[in-house]
């Protein structure tokens, strides 16, 4: 399969039904995408597929064929959301953080509080109680 992964053309030889999550972590050595449940409930495995957030634990590799895929590594390290998550306590243990940040990227600039709450409803965080995540996104 071919795809554009974090802005670069990639060709991968993987089983079409392999979970996209495993393709990223095992075949591409991109371990920033996390597994929290493997059943589409926690959002820790969120990546952006053609700009839209998906749970990569539920997506078979074949779905990413020909797509633009973005993982946390593709954000570089200077994105305003990344900085804001460090400054405002949006990341505690950090296991939900890559998925949270990508879900927040998909909300576009300056989302309303309500848009954030709805947009992140599929991303669980057990550490923060979400408030610090809202502050991070709103002040990014």
Partner 1 sequence: MASRAAKAVGRNVLRKEGHAKVTGAARYIDDLTFPGLLHARTIRSTIPAGQIAKVRFKGDRAGFTLVDHHDIPGRNIVALIDDDQPCLAERAIRHVAEPILLLVHEDREKLRAAEVQIDYRPSTPNYDPETSAIAFKSIAIDKGNVDEGFAAADVIVDGEYRTGLQEQLYIETNGVIAVPGHGVAGGDDGITVYGSMQCPYYVHRALMILLGLPAEQVRVIQTETGGGFGGKEEYPSMIAGHAALAALKTGRPVKLVYDRVEDMLATTKRHPSIIRHRTGVTRDGRLTAMDIDAVLDGGAYATLSAVVLSRGMIHAAGPYRCDHVRIRGRATMTNTPPNGAFRGFGAPQTQFAADVHMDRIAERLGLDPVRVREINALRPGDTTATGQRLGADSSALRVLREAVKRTDFKKRRRALASSNGPAEAGRHTPARGIGLSLFFHGSGFTGAGEVKLASKASLALTGRGARIHVASTEIGQGTRTMLAQIVADALGVPYEHIDVNAADTGEVPDSGPTVASRTCMIVGRILQRCAEEMRGRLGSLTPRQYLRKFGPLTITKQYERPAGMVWDDTLYKGDAYGSYGWGCDVVEVEVDRDTFEVKATAFTTVHEIGKAIHPTLALGQIEGGSAQGLGYALLEDVVMRDGRMTNATLTNYIIPTSLDTPPMKVVLLENPYPHGPSGAKGVGEMPIDGPAPAVINALRHAGFDLREIPATPEKIMAVAS
Binding site residues, partner 1, CB under 8 A: 25, 30-39, 41-42, 44, 71-73, 75-77, 81-83, 85-89, 91-98, 101, 116-118, 120-133
Which residue number, 5 or 100, has a Cβ lying nearer to ligand FES? Answer: 100
Confirm if 50 and 3 have CB atoms less than 8 A apart.
no
Mark 120-139 with x for binding to ligand FES (rule: CB under 6 A) and - for no binding: -----xxxx-----------
Collapsing DSSP to helix, strand or coil, 52 comes out as strand
Confirm if 33 and 65 have CB atoms less than 8 A apart.
no
β-pairing, 52-55 with 68-70?
A: unpaired
Q: Interface with ligand FES includes 42 (CB under 6 A)?
A: yes
What is the radius of gyration, based on Cα positions, of the chain?
14
Query: Could you list the residues that contact ligand FES (CB under 6 A)?
Result: 35-38, 40-45, 55, 57, 91-97, 125-128
């Amino acid at each position: 399969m071919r795809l554009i992964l974090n802005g670069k053309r990639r060709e991968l030889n993987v089983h079409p039904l392999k979970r996209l999550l495993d393709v990223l972590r095992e075949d591409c050595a991109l371990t920033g995408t996390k597994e929290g449940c493997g059943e589409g409930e926690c959002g820790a495995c969120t990546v952006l597929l053609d700009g839209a957030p998906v749970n990569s634990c539920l997506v078979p590799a074949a779905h990413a064929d020909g797509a633009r895929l973005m993982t946390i590594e593709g954000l570089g390290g200077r994105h305003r959301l990344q900085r804001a998550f460090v400054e405002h306590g949006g990341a505690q243990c950090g296991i939900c953080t890559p998925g949270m940040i990508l879900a927040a990227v998909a909300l576009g600039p300056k989302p309303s509080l309500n848009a954030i709450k709805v947009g992140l409803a599929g991303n669980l965080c057990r550490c923060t109680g979400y408030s610090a995540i809202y502050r991070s996104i709103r002040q990014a």
